């Protein structure tokens, strides 16, 4: 693990450094023109937001059902915090794009609303962890588990309004000139995510080890 | 199953008996709800005393959510002050029975608040309550159940946590977003001049499925979540 993180970080840095040139070389989108380029950042961060929320939900369920393993707890904490980070990137780049494409910063569309609600949920997970005091591991695992069950409900209930957001089914049908820079960005973001995730779980392990050592020393 | 329901009812009966002696929760929650409605009236009703379309259903559900949160915090604060939740959890009943008992007591309390709050909203904001009374009742009942089923579990979990008063809304509000959307939209479909029963039915179906999923999830997880 000590060697994986620097390697992943190096790969991510190199790919992210190269990605502006690839995005620049990609053809401009017909109707939206230059603003569409933000898509090469928006979609990868949204994908990672989803990946980390699934990791957090599964780890929370495993923690609750499978005998409180510290590893599952660390995984859920790291995933929730990274969901906040990548969710923030998604929620910042989305309105920037929407302002030009739709003419408004924000619409209460299904995808936007469900992303916002899920993002708030990972905030409540993290706030609970930070300020809940002893025993908050179980509480936040409950939030993670309920949050996973919540996704279809939020999505369905806001979907009944109206949907402006482009469907993700366009992604596999992208021409190669746009698809290659997109997947390049996705892989770069994935490497960054993996490196941050490994680092965060390690920090959490050191923190719990220190707490345990302190408790031992006090006795 | 019958045993669990019987013990749950005993726990709910205990809570109601405690409440009937002091009436602290009913009075304070009701008063809070009434003042909240007043604040909404001052902020929404226009100078020519016209009421913006759709505000009645919104005000009703926002007030319910806020006063419900206060009631939830207070119900469990009472258990904590006298350290009685430990006794309850140590008693030879299943965890789901403790959860269900608490849930029943909270539901009955909120039903009492709604009994005043709903006519008051109708009176202040000219909401046509009598147009489809059974559908309105069903929306309120399923919405309150959805709110309380998640709220009771998290309030019980937070009893031992630090800064629990702020953490309950922090945790609860994102989770009950679908309940609020469905409740407000469904009630609004009944309150608009051309009542849309089909839309209200659709939101009712959504509330019923939310209740089913989250109630079973709460019953399933209340063992590990309420602690050993």
Cβ pair A204, A70 in contact under 8 A: no
Rounded Cα–Cα distance for residues A193 and A197 (Å): 6
Q: How many CB pairs under 8 A join A and B?
A: 88
The confidence score (pLDDT) of residue B161 equals 81
Q: Per-residue pLDDT for B24 more than 70?
A: yes
Model confidence at A5, pLDDT cuts 50, 70, 90, reads confident
The confidence score (pLDDT) of residue B169 equals 92
The confidence score (pLDDT) of residue A1 equals 58
B16 touches chain A (CB under 8 A): no
Share of chain B above pLDDT 90, in %: 43
Give, as one character, the DSSP assignment of residue A28. Answer: P
Cβ pair A89, A215 in contact under 8 A: no
Model confidence at B107, pLDDT cuts 50, 70, 90, reads very high
Domains contained in chain B, number: 1
Cβ pair B125, B192 in contact under 8 A: no
Taking residues B36-65, report their average pLDDT: 88
* B181 with A157: Cβ contact below 8 A: yes
Q: Per-residue pLDDT for A144 more than 80?
A: yes
Q: Is the pLDDT higher at B135 or at B52? A: B135
Taking residues B119-148, report their average pLDDT: 91
Most confidently modeled of A134-143, B50-59, B109-118? B109-118
Nearest CA of chain A to the CA of B74: how many Å? 18
For residue range B190-216, list pLDDT tens digits in order: 988 888 888 889 899 989 999 999 999
* B210 with A121: Cβ contact below 8 A: no
Nearest to B191 by CA among B64, B60, B66: B60
Best residue in A114, A128, A130 for a mutation probing chain B (most B CBs within 10 Å): A128
A130 → chain B, closest CA residue: B162
Rounded Cα–Cα distance for residues B155 and B170 (Å): 11
For residue range A41-53, list pLDDT tens digits in order: 888 998 899 889 8
A68 torsion bin: left (phi>0), alpha (psi -120 to 50), beta (else)? left
Cβ pair A196, A82 in contact under 8 A: yes
The confidence score (pLDDT) of residue B106 equals 93
Whole-structure pTM value: 0.85
The confidence score (pLDDT) of residue A83 equals 93
The confidence score (pLDDT) of residue B212 equals 93
Taking residues A111-127, report their average pLDDT: 89
* A127 with B224: Cβ contact below 8 A: no
HEC letters along chain B: CHHHHHHHHHHHHHHHHHHHHHCHHHHHHHHHHHHHHHHHHHHHCCCCCCCCCCHHHHHHHHHHHHHHHHHHHHHHHHHHHCCHHHHHHHCCCCHHHHHHHHHHHHHHHHHHHHHHHHHHHHHHHCCCCCCCHHHHHHHHHHHHHHHHHHHHHHHHHHCCCCCHHHHHHHHHHHHCHHHHHHHHHHHHHHHCCCCCHHHHHHHHHHHHHHHHHHHHHHHHHHHHHHCC
Enumerate the β-bridge partners of residue A33. Answer: A29
Taking residues B163-183, report their average pLDDT: 89
Model confidence at A122, pLDDT cuts 50, 70, 90, reads very high
The confidence score (pLDDT) of residue A158 equals 64
Cβ pair A62, A92 in contact under 8 A: no
For residue range A75-94, list pLDDT tens digits in order: 999 999 999 999 999 999 98
What are the phi and psi torsion angles at B36 (to 5°)? Answer: -65, -45
Cβ pair B51, B125 in contact under 8 A: yes
Structure tokens at A91: 């929620």
| Average pLDDT of every residue of chain B | 89
The confidence score (pLDDT) of residue B79 equals 84
The upper half-sphere exposure of residue A113, i.e. CA atoms within 13 Å in the direction of its Cβ, equals 21
Model confidence at B146, pLDDT cuts 50, 70, 90, reads very high
Enumerate the β-bridge partners of residue A99. Answer: none
> For residue A123, what are the CA distances in angstroms to A43, A60, A151, B132, B209?
21, 15, 15, 39, 26
Nearest CA of chain A to the CA of B120: how many Å? 28
Cβ pair A187, A32 in contact under 8 A: no
Tokens 């499925």 sit on residue: B209
Model confidence at A97, pLDDT cuts 50, 70, 90, reads confident
User: Which chain A residues have a beta carbon less than 8 Å from that of B162?
Assistant: 131-133
Q: Hey, is A134 helix, strand or coil?
A: coil
Range of the domain at B201: 2-226
Q: What is the ipTM of this complex?
A: 0.81
The confidence score (pLDDT) of residue B78 equals 85
B224 touches chain A (CB under 8 A): yes
């Amino acid at each position: 693990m000590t060697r994986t993180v620097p390697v992943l970080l190096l790969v991510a840095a190199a790919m992210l450094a190269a990605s502006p040139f690839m995005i620049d070389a990609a053809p401009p989108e017909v109707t939206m023109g230059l603003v569409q380029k933000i898509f090469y950042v928006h979609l990868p961060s949204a994908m990672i937001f989803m990946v980390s929320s699934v990791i957090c939900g599964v780890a929370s369920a495993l923690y609750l059902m499978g005998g409180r393993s510290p590893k599952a707890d660390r995984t859920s904490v790291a995933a929730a915090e990274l969901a906040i980070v990548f969710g923030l990137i998604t929620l910042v780049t989305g309105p920037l794009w929407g302002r030009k494409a739709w003419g408004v910063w924000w619409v209460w569309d299904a995808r936007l609303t469900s992303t916002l609600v899920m993002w708030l949920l990972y905030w409540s997970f993290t706030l609970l962890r930070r300020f809940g005091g002893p025993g908050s591991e179980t509480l936040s695992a409950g939030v993670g588990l309920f949050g996973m069950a919540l996704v279809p409900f939020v999505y369905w209930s806001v979907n009944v309004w109206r949907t402006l957001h482009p469907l993700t089914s366009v992604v596999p049908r992208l021409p190669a000139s746009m698809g290659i820079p997109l997947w390049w960005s996705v892989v770069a973001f994935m490497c960054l995510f993996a490196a941050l995730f490994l680092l965060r779980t390690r920090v959490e392990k050191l923190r719990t080890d220190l707490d345990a050592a302190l408790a031992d020393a006090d006795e | 199953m019958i045993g669990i329901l019987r013990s749950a009812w005993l726990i709910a009966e205990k809570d109601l008996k405690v409440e009937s002696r002091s009436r602290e929760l009913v009075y304070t929650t009701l008063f809070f709800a009434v003042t909240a409605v007043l604040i909404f009236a001052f902020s929404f009703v226009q100078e020519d005393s016209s009421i913006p379309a759709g505000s009645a259903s919104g005000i009703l559900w926002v007030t319910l959510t806020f006063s419900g949160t206060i009631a939830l915090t207070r119900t469990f604060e009472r258990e904590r002050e006298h350290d009685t939740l430990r006794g309850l959890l140590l008693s030879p009943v299943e965890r789901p029975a403790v959860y269900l008992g608490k849930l029943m007591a909270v539901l009955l309390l909120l039903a009492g608040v709604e009994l005043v709050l709903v006519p008051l909203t109708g009176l202040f904001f000219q909401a046509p309550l009598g147009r489809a009374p059974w559908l309105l009742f069903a929306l309120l009942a399923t919405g309150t159940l959805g709110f309380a089923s998640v709220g009771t579990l998290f309030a019980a979990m937070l009893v031992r946590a630090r800064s629990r008063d702020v953490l309950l809304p922090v945790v609860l509000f994102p989770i009950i977003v679908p309940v609020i959307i469905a409740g407000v939209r469904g009630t609004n479909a009944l309150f608009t001049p051309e009542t849309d029963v089909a839309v209200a039915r659709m939101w009712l179906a959504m509330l019923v499925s939310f209740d089913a999923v989250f109630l079973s999830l709460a019953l399933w997880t209340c063992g590990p979540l309420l602690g050993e």
